[in-house]
Amino acid sequence: MRLIVTAFVGVVFGFLIGLCFPKLSLTKFSLSTSIFTAIDFKYTEYTKLGPSSSTRVSHPVVNNGSSANVTLKKIWVPSNPRGAERLPPGIVRAESDLYLRRLWGKPSEDLTSKPKYLVTFTVGYDQRKNIDAAVKKFSGNFTILLFHYDGRTTEWDEFEWSKKAIHVSVRRQTKWWYAKRFLHPDIVATYDYIFIWDEDLGVEHFNAEEYIKLVRKHGLEISQPGLEPNKGLTWQMTKRRGDHEVHKETEEKPGWCNHPHVPPCAAFVEIMAPVFSRDAWRCVWHMIQNDLVHGWGLDFALRKCVEPAHEKIGVVDSQWIVHQSVPSLGNQGESLDGKAPWKGVRERCKKEWSIFQTRLSRAEKAYLKEINSTSH
């Protein structure tokens, strides 16, 4: 009986207390923004209304402390990038960049300059002197990005320019592996041209700014510097011509070209030192395969990304380089069945070329078959 009486008295007492105070409402409090921000409130009200409802709700709490009326509607914008349909278009930023920013100050004051071009090198520390010489051929208009296949990055700080460069380190990977994962077209969209170069290139006779001028002058969407004729040549197309600024076609061995406008007689550059315009790179990036990392065969397919290819792909003769053919990446392989590491890497390269050609051919045939079937 004593428990029952105590409980009854407590209920009555609580009821009387409730009558003595006005009803409280969160909507009538100006709470600290650190506890309950205007955005939190709007989201709470929105979820109460349901995702498909539309109503006018009075929000007395906003960031500046004033009140405002906001019409809340479900947002669905099909034209937004995939996955961002629920965001208002004004907040969507589909593209990014590689510009370095400060941790302090105003964001609008971060960048004193915006480089217009990007140059990437896939490097090992043993080639640091060669890369140092190469980087110095590129002006402040270029962002420098190093992909480190040997895992050594901090040692590069011996070069002053390295402290402002971007370093990405993943062991035993190729430049096309890096390019597919770190050079998405929406990430490098701020750059007019993207250089994707090897580490073993001699650049004594190369000037990057002059190279860009010639690329623009001759309308090249995909290009490379000419190669020194006496060093590591595979194709006649990439051989430097002393009496030209640029050339776009050549003559190869009999039977190598079934048409004068197709590789390797035209519309062709090698994958050691290619340079892509922004638009051309967007296409090439999509053509790079995730699992085929050496890029063999890619140079014969680049022509599919520009039209007409035999006019927009070419070799810049007056700004030329030397391919030193240093097999440093090959030495990153492993010895299998008693073979030297570089031999296993070379065999993988050849296999990838065959796989890529087969995939491309099948994809084109499947597409054409589908088009023909739907047109009848």
Q: Mind listing the pLDDT tens digit for each residue in 273-284? A: 999 999 999 999
Instruction: Please name every residue paired with 142 in a beta bridge, in sequence order, or none if there are none.
Output: 117
Tell me the domain boundaries of the chain: 117-327
What values do phi and psi take at 53, rounded to 5?
-85, 160
pLDDT of residue 50 exceeding 50, the answer is no
Give the mean pLDDT of 71-86. 90
pLDDT in the model for residue 73: 81
Rg (CA), the chain: 31
Taking the CA of residue 79 as centre, how many other CA atoms within 13 Å lie in the half-sphere pointing to its CB? 3
pLDDT in the model for residue 38: 42
pLDDT of residue 191 exceeding 60, the answer is yes
pLDDT in the model for residue 4: 78
Taking the CA of residue 10 as centre, how many other CA atoms within 13 Å lie in the half-sphere pointing to its CB? 6
pLDDT of residue 239 exceeding 80, the answer is yes
- In this structure, the number of other CB atoms found within 10 A of the CB of residue 59 comes to 16
Least confident of 64-78, 114-128, 312-326, 346-360: 64-78
Distance set, CA 267 to CA 212, 259, 307, 312 (Å): 19, 11, 10, 7
pLDDT in the model for residue 376: 67
| CB distance 326 to 199 below 8 Å | yes
pLDDT in the model for residue 233: 72
**What's the pLDDT band for 137 if we cut at 50, 70, 90?**
very high
Contacts of 166 (CB under 8 A, 6+ apart): 98, 100, 143, 144, 145, 146
pLDDT of residue 85 exceeding 50, the answer is yes
Distance set, CA 76 to CA 58, 71, 73, 88 (Å): 23, 15, 9, 8
Structure tokens at 212: 């860009």
**What's the pLDDT band for 204 if we cut at 50, 70, 90?**
very high
pTM of the model: 0.79
Give the mean pLDDT of 69-81. 82
Give the mean pLDDT of 28-54. 42
**What's the pLDDT band for 295 if we cut at 50, 70, 90?**
very high
338 vs 261, residue with greater confidence: 261
Instruction: Please name every residue paired with 195 in a beta bridge, in sequence order, or none if there are none.
Output: 119, 275
Is the domain spanning 117-327 CATH 3.90.550.10? The answer is yes
Q: What is the mean pLDDT of the chain?
A: 85
